[in-house]
Amino acid sequence: MKKTFCMTLALLFTLALSACGKADSPAPSVSGSNPSNTPVVSVPDAGSEQEQSPSSCTFDPALFGGKLQSCAYAGNGTLLVLADKLYLYDTGAASVLAAVEAPLRDFEAQAIDGGYVLTGMGDDGMMAYIYDSSLSLKKEIAVNELLAGDFVVSETGGVAASTDGKKLAFAALGGLYLYDLESGSLTTLLDLSQNAGTASIGISMLNGAAFAQGNSQIVFYGSGNSIPAVNGEDSFSIYGSIAVDGSGLKLTKPSAYEMEEIQSSASRLFFPQTFTRANGTLLWIDRATGSANTLSFSTSGEGKDGVYGSEQGNYVATAVLGSNLTVRVYDVASGALAATEVIENSDPTYFNRIPRIYLLDGAKTAVVVLGGSISEIDTLVSTFEFGA
């Protein structure tokens, strides 16, 4: 079904609401120019269970000042929205819960028990900001200063937070590190200068990491080389895991699969392929068990224009760009195609860059953001429902 964008964000506060989920969802009570007047709403615990996610969603760009740039999952159907400020937005209640000055203009967010961890590149390199559930800043960490001679350069997955909010993992140029936020101690789990690896694979680079199996393991990905060396062989993509005590290192070379990034959801870790090598499949790992699986898309080249895991990890969306945007949503467990949505606009500029797509599992709603990174145009937002 084709759908034309009906909303331009934030700079035009007279826009009608875009409702997603149930048609009778209540209208927001906050004007776009004054979110501080939002009625007091209890802030959800970011570490709460999946079933507490709201079953309806309303996304209203008029509640955010300035140009809407991007969003991030904040747990239980809430989103962190980056515009003129950083907003904590409840999609179920259609309410702004908090708004603070954004520490970074581009960031990755991870929900933890009782708050959030935001990471990204600042003036001093990789930074980590730890907030409580009301967006009150509790701690600021200059990661590269902490590593004293090593550097985290990957903005996607370079810093991972344990779900209990007690530890951070750093995938850096020289190795993998574990930082205890309570004691301030830093432990080297993998030292690439000491030929870290297994009997058959050596690790040459680390690109990202995430906690798994009840925070007892760290899953990572990067590049490796065969041991013994194979004449003429280039480095290849690898993924692996290691216990937080440094034991049990495991490495895997996925056949003909080159990973671009790691995406963390509540239940699964997704490893989209490099866009030049996309072959219509997606590698994912179960965070609870560590088992690896593959999801197949509808077409062989699908995935090169973006792959987007849902908040809880039950769904994945792909973007297919051309004269319009086709979004396909898949059920990860069954592999079934849950929805296909075609989004059009008369300005082709919106389809020259990959979109940002956010899937809310409880409400079974997709929020599609186009043009957020293009300063010359207003951001466009569209929503649609998927699944039964």
Q: How confident is the model at residue 53 (pLDDT cuts 50, 70, 90)?
A: confident
CA atoms of 144 and 216, how far apart (whole Å): 24
Edge-to-edge strand list for the sheet holding 108-112: 108-112, 115-122, 125-132, 137-142
3-state secondary structure of 61: helix
Q: Is the pLDDT of residue 134 over 80?
A: yes
CA atoms of 136 and 101, how far apart (whole Å): 11
Name the residue ranges covered by the structural domains of the chain: 1-106+284-388, 114-154+157-260
Q: Is the pTM of this model over 0.85?
A: yes
Residue 274 has φ and ψ, to the nearest 5°, of -55, 135
CA atoms of 215 and 178, how far apart (whole Å): 12
Given CATH 2.60.40.10, say whether it is the number of domain 114-154+157-260.
no
255: DSSP letter = T
Q: What is the pLDDT of residue 52?
A: 62
Tens digits of residue pLDDT in 180-236:
999 999 999 999 999 999 999 999 999 999 999 999 999 999 999 999 999 999 999
Q: Is the pLDDT of residue 26 over 50?
A: no
